[in-house]
């Protein structure tokens, strides 16, 4: 059985600013820095943030699955603002899922607004429908909201800095 779960998070910042937080290795750094107690700790095992990069995410206690997940970046498209990862070990695979992928897309919704679309794509044996109860976009939503808050705060701070007049030494 194949399926997907999707959730969207609105962001009051341009898509380019949001993508800067999601692209490459920046997302792993921000998750570890901003959300260690809610999302976990990300460690880059190999790679530079492009396709083939391998990341280990250790989840906080109480997260279903193996307590960690190793993911490989399978898509890293700066033009379309899309990043995809595939679970290669741990996470829901440890519970019996056949495959699990995460797609993160940043879409422009206006000049100063965007949306983070987080999609969980899965495959599970038809004989194991009970595993579907473990599926949730909760971690993806928490991550999107945390990153969105960070981006909006930084974006607004940068806008204020650009608007404030500079004082000359004689003033």
Q: List, by residue number, the catalytic residues.
A: 83
Give 63-67 contacts, CB < 8 A, sequence gap 24+: 63/139, 64/92, 64/95, 64/134, 65/90, 65/91, 65/92, 65/93, 65/94, 65/95, 65/134, 66/90, 66/91, 66/93, 66/94, 66/95
* Tokens 């910042």 -> residue: 13
């Amino acid at each position: 059985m194949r399926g997907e779960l999707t959730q969207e998070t609105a962001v009051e910042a341009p898509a380019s600013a949001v993508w800067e937080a999601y692209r490459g290795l920046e997302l792993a750094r921000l998750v570890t820095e901003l959300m260690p107690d809610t999302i976990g700790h990300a460690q880059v095992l190999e790679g530079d943030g492009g396709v083939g990069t391998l990341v280990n995410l250790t989840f906080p206690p109480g997260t279903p699955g193996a307590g960690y997940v190793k993911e490989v970046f399978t898509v890293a498209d700066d033009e379309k603002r899309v990043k995809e990862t595939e679970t290669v070990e741990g996470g829901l695979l440890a519970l019996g899922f056949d495959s699990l992928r995460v797609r993160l897309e940043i879409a422009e919704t206006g000049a100063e607004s965007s949306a983070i679309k987080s999609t969980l794509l899965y495959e599970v044996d038809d004989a194991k429908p009970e595993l579907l109860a473990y599926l949730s976009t909760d971690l993806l939503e928490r991550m999107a909201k945390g990153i969105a808050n960070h981006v909006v705060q930084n974006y607004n701070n940068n806008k204020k800095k650009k608007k404030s007049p500079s004082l000359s030494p004689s003033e």
